[in-house]
Structure 1
């Protein structure tokens, strides 16, 4: 589950749990396939099934892009939502202040919101809290004893609070597309109209601008994954990098898609009709690292 959160070698270790010479059957799930996964589907190493409908009871999420200087308006929006009985997430990229990265932090945001919204109960969860502390805060949020939950990406998956209808993501330009889509999916789980506000700081890099444009325009995880592939590249096919330039000697996945299909058919013919030649080709090109193609 949540296949995009695993590394190449972690997935490879899972594949190797079968008996000697046998590979286990694997079903991998993700709301946002990583660029590598999408690229592997080109090469017939993965059969892809797409579920493109919202589960029953879910409502579409409105996404808004808001400049950082309009923070006070966003806080007022949080106040109004919570005073009508709804709840909100406020997501931050860091736990505590960093000199290298001057970003709004979870602890700083918790203090800021506690001061700005004294009429509301504010909670804080992040990866450094003890499990029982995190569980207590999450239980209070689920019970609506906490109206605003300030959090890092620990809430990216596995959190289901139908009453939470508003999410604010600080420094959204610093998050990857898969993370933004997963985080946005924490709202829209009930019958109430849900909004995800992406707070961003300027100046934006070209990549940051493209990511925010993609997440603003699309709610389909597979479309977002294709944009991620276009922006970040598929990474190494015979290696462990999951994004970046693929280092293919001749081919370009987008420009040469028809050739990839021809090559795939030829590869199947070689495997079927001339397995020895197929082994020699694999030995020449893969250099003993062919197992990495399976992860």
Structure 2
């Protein structure tokens, strides 16, 4: 967060560091940091009518307080409202100030979820208010995702300040909003951050609320646009066309004890067509366990090797990578291709030999784990990268390879 933004939003250095942990660096980041849920502090629920397992607010007089030590140290407070109904409040972490705040005879409000406890209905670590010196909230209270050390009142104040100082210009034309029956961005954001008193928790939690629909639309639109921009950038890049003459792929096909399915033939054809282009290919191959993704990967690898390129096959664990290594050796060594193995647990001598063969181009295909994208691993002409379970790698890790 820049010093200018920090000063404009009146954010302390300590809070700024906490916000960075939430990836909140600008005023717009804060404006788009939406509530997880809401708490209703606008009215008081009689204890006898308070629902189980739903956040609510009750009020009563403290009739008993004690610190117990079994099974662990905790503060137990009992309150009773005007109907005589009693509720236990239990605190596992507390200070002497908490005991003073809830001294016998004090009238307090407690906000939280009621659960069935050993001694009766109870709230565990509820939010406590002094009933005599604080009024009821005028609207529902938003609860935001946060980190330890950044409390909700501070976060609410910072977000409200960001809303006040940020020009909320709409990103979509009025004609499109009218056709899709979506509200304006500023209206949606202000409603979700500061819901009017007329809205209930149920209404605000309903994903069909127009304000939520507007932000969902924006998020999906941004995702689609970013994908389109990424594709344009990829298509504008250059890559060596990997055509292949079919000698190795046909040899493997003849050696297989089975024929490829129509679906496998289709994706092999699509991958080969993409590899023959002069811009980079990014393709995700999906299929159930046992659907034949590995043979598709092997045929794609052979097409790249036929074109004189090298291939890297990476898996997230040694067990999975070793399974691929065994399968690729079984298929490719009879074709005269050596397959090398690279992993973190590999002995230095074997690893150095594999790296030397990749660097001078002697070996065309390597199978391994994260070790494949180590700084000291060099390929003479890496043309195709196959990543199994790519979601288990970071984006930076895949890009490094």
TM-score by length of 1: 0.26
- Larger Rg: 1 or 2? 2
Q: Which has the higher contact order (CA 8 A, sep 6+)?
A: 1
TM-score by length of 2: 0.21
Higher strand share: 2
